[in-house]
Chain A
Amino acid sequence: MLRRSVLAGIAASAVSSRAMAQADEWKRVEEAGRKEGKLVIYTASIGSPFLKATCDSFEKKYGITIERFEARASEVRERVRVEQAAGRFLGDIHHNGSTTTWLMQRDGNFQPRGDIPNVKNIVAPHAADDIKIPCEVISYCLMVNRTMVKPADEPKSWKDILDPKWTGKILSDDYRALGGGAVFFVVMQNTFGRDFHEKLAAQKPVFSRDIANSERRVARGEYPLYLPFSLQNLNNLKGLPIKPIVPAEGRPFVRFDLAVLKNAQRPNAARLFMNHYLEPDTQLLYANAGYAPVIGGVVEKTLPEIRELLKTPALGTTLPDKQDEMLALAKEIYK
């Protein structure tokens, strides 16, 4: 009994001293981050008020100023590649879709992130590795014009959009190009197979790449149905006669990741920012905006109308190494 107690005591003190060591280590990261004083983020999240709010709260908490370079995913990637090839290491942290992040990780554009306390809170199906951490998840669903589509006619399943009553009435992001359209294509292909797409192609969906305008076109009554609708865009459309619908099978999704850029000048501030992004408050901010959180215990605290949508199952996402193959298949089916 005594032996057990002694062993338990030793184990507890070992755990406790390890935790203390980690806490000390993190304090050192905090101090070093504050000394660095600044953080440069390269992000593909253009004009996001939630990223801005996250940056503002980080600046307030740590006194570290943030500069953001915002551009489209491929532009951010090319900028990082060119700068690193030229020996210019201007950015500290990279925020982009998981596909682009995966490709950049393969190309060696990042450095190991080091320990980050909040990583332990990440829940499946999301996971961090030595380089990157997941940070927010964009969910895709359907959007209907409430004045044009009666509740009884609303699609309940993804397969319902194959009903002939929707022929010529679907406005859609382009499946043949990177973005939400391509994510939708891949997930439907993996879930229902090619037959689904051939039938959907027969519905003659109209493609447009200007997502913000497409959503408003549906709201104005040009088309009754839009897909895939990014759930977080609901924030920009409050007050319009539209309704997001998550079909029974679930939501296709695409994740955004954070990674420390190679030879970052401010690696400690970057780690602090990663940790800050995984704080429950930050994740709740994103979740209330319609992004699925990557840590546990957040969905339950979200606004009721969002909670219902986020509780639906995650249906699937893209696979970076198969993306070009899928884009080619989309071009073949949707001519």
Chain B
Amino acid sequence: MTVAVQLPIATPALPRGFWRWGRPLGMTLLVLILGFLSLYPMAMLLYGSLHSTPPGVAGEFNLNGYIGLLTTENARIFLDTIVLSFVKTILAVALAILLAWIVARTDTPGRGVLEVLITLPFFIPPILTATAWAMLGNAQVGTINLAWRWLTGSDGTLVNVYSWWGVVWHMMQYSTPFMFLFIVDAFRAMDPALEESSRMSGASRWQTFWRITFGLMLPVTTSAFILSFIRGIESFESPVFFGTPAGITVITTQIYDSITQRAQPDYQSATALSFAALALMFLLLLAQSRLLGGRSFATVTGKGYSPNVTRLGWMRWVTFGICVLFFLLTVALPVGQLLLSSFFRFFGFYEAEMFTFEHYKSVWENRAFWRAFGNTMLLGVLGATATMTLGGIVAYVTTRTKWRGRRLIDALAWLPWMMPGMVLGIGFLWGFATLPHGIPIYGTLLALLLAYVALGTPVAVRVTSAAYQQIATDIEECSRVHGANWWQTLGRILVALAWPAFAVGWVLIFFGIMRELSASILLYAPGTEVLSVVMLKMWVGGKPEEVSVIGLVMLVLVVMFRWVQLKVIKKRISTL
């Protein structure tokens, strides 16, 4: 069955002057911006991988970093990392598609509330959920195991988070809502007439889901899959927290060892290992490009449609149950644990005499927290807006034009995502510090802002690319035929239709900035501290309860943001 009509990608009509000067100038500017944000720090890292010493120290060029990778131990670490990330991504993508379908395409009760609740785990700092799960799922005295023993009379263990599956589970809690956010609006924007046609042609509900719904979601699903798989390879908190005690080593923990756990940091090995991982990820991107190449996935066409939903009958209570179960397991249990703990002197000690509001008072009176909160909000708003603007432009050029150099800017935008954060942070440090002193970046908020834009651009590009790919070019052509100029068409058609994706991308990047630590810890200066740095200081300083208070504040912010966002999206969609 053909899932969509092949639509030619037309060269958009632009003002005449633009073609002569605007396009080459614009492309050059884009290449320069992206080159500075991604290629420049990566070049510093490449130098580090090929040189016996880091920049600024006498040494020699050699391949020792790469030669050192060729050991059985490293091969095993690579394989373990890939398997771990693959398993968690497969499970998370399946779950995310199911949840997105339930929320966007069915009449499941309470979908609006469920949509906000399902995404919450993504926004909680991983160290907090790790702490909560350590209390819930440890083999000895974990709440779940104690309850299990009490209920069954057994002395066995039901769950053990300090295990391979514990790492997978903890990673899934971030991957699933991340992919859900990616996918859900694409589901919502799809014309249900395609599914109805399938059903009327005799396809079963499952065949329709697999061949039509899932088929049309392929660009956004594969984008989400690859982003999540790469993030899985670069994941650090889950393996170090739950994997290290179980003897599990992955690429990031190995890099962490090379940089921070040796008397003499071995940047050459760490950067070489990162470039090897980058090569692996690049192969994945090629695979995705092959998978999607030459096919059209336009589902938003000039033809009007009503975004109605599938009536599930009694099954809607089953789908409701699935969403509630997901919420209970990934949000209610760990967040409940955090919320409860925030009112007691110590995590996990719930005696009456330990009840206190001291952690809230302490955070409220902490000047460093408020300063960091202000900096983070400023950087979050500016960074998310700048990143989405840049990402929107890059996505436009790569998906809606055939301009020369578009593949280059696509690749440049991808690069930061493929380098583990802790290594890229060093690249930024090396890059910004060695700029001429007249360029006021190093040691300022601008350094953090640029790093955040670089780190967020791949997400912005993927989110907006996937949205653009769903919008047929005939709508733009129709707009032009009716007399709208290029800018009017861009603003009133493309941006208006892709707006929900912009909103999702903005929120993803905003909260990504709020959580980012690897680059922040290396680039902040006294006075430019951000929330993640303050949280690290509190954590290391033995105040996890105060960190959980901040985590809960962040969670309230997320709920507010998501609520407003969904209200606006729904309003926009209803007026389309």
A residues contacting B by CB (< 8 A) are 40, 46-49, 67-75, 77-79, 81-88, 90, 99, 103, 174, 176-179, 206-210, 212-213, 215-217, 219-223, 233, 235-237, 239-240, 320, 323-324, 327
Contact = CB atoms under 8 A, between A and B. Distances in A.
A81 B54 contact: yes
B261 A216 contact: no
B442 A103 contact: no
B260 A81 contact: no
Contacts of B131: 213
Nearest to B56: A85
B240 to A, nearest CB: 6
B12 interface: no
Contact of B346 (A79, A240, A324): A240
A166 B262 CA distance: 29
B253 to A, nearest CB: 9
Contacts of B521: 71-72, 75
A201 B544 CA distance: 30
Contacts of A72: 260, 521
B241 interface: yes
B138 A217 contact: yes
A177 B261 contact: yes
B429 A78 contact: yes
Nearest to B523: A79
B541 interface: yes
Given A69-B524, A82-B54, A222-B140, 13 more contacts: A72-B260, A74-B265, A78-B265, A79-B429, A86-B433, A87-B437, A206-B162, A212-B540, A213-B131, A216-B544, A239-B345, A320-B263, A324-B262
Contacts of B536: 46-47
Given A78-B429, A213-B134, A67 B527 contact: yes
A113 to B, nearest CB: 22
Interface string B130-172: 0100110010110000000000000000000010000000000
A99 B539 contact: no
A46 B433 contact: no
A82 B55 contact: yes
B57 interface: yes
B263 A71 contact: no
27 contacts: A48-B541, A67-B526, A67-B527, A69-B526, A70-B533, A77-B265, A78-B522, A81-B54, A86-B56, A86-B434, A86-B442, A87-B437, A88-B433, A88-B437, A90-B443, A103-B264, A210-B241, A212-B544, A213-B131, A217-B138, A219-B346, A219-B348, A219-B349, A220-B141, A220-B349, A233-B542, A239-B346
A82 B263 contact: no
Contacts of B162: 206
B263 A178 contact: yes
Given A67-B527, A68-B526, A79-B429, A209 B240 contact: yes
Interface string B524-544: 111100000100111111111
Contact of B525 (A69, A74, A82): A69
B434 A327 contact: no
A86 B542 CA distance: 35
Contact size range, B:
35 or more
Contact of B522 (A71, A177, A323): A71
Contact of B433 (A49, A83, A176): A83
A84 B430 CA distance: 11
B540 A46 contact: yes
B377 to A, nearest CB: 21
Contacts of B526: 40, 67-69
Contacts of B345: 239
A21 B345 CA distance: 53
Nearest to A82: B433
A47 B541 contact: yes
Contacts of A320: 263
B140 A178 contact: no
B429 A88 contact: no
A239 B354 contact: yes
B196 interface: no
Contacts of B525: 69, 90
Interface in B209-268: 240-241, 244-245, 257, 259-265
B263 A327 contact: yes
B348 A216 contact: yes
Given A208-B245, A209-B240, A79 B522 contact: yes
A216 B433 contact: no
Nearest to B524: A69
A150 B541 CA distance: 30
A177 to B, nearest CB: 4
B347 interface: yes
B57 A209 contact: no
B347 A216 contact: yes
Contacts of B539: 47, 212
B426 interface: yes
Nearest to A241: B349
Interface in B531-559: 533, 536-544
Q: Which of A78, A82, A99, A220 has the most CB of B within 10 A?
A: A82
Contacts of A85: 55-57, 433-434
Given A83-B433, A85-B56, A86-B56, A221 B260 contact: no
A90 B524 CA distance: 12
Contacts of B141: 220-222
Top 4 A-B pairs, shortest CB-CB distance: A47-B541, A85-B56, A67-B526, A236-B542
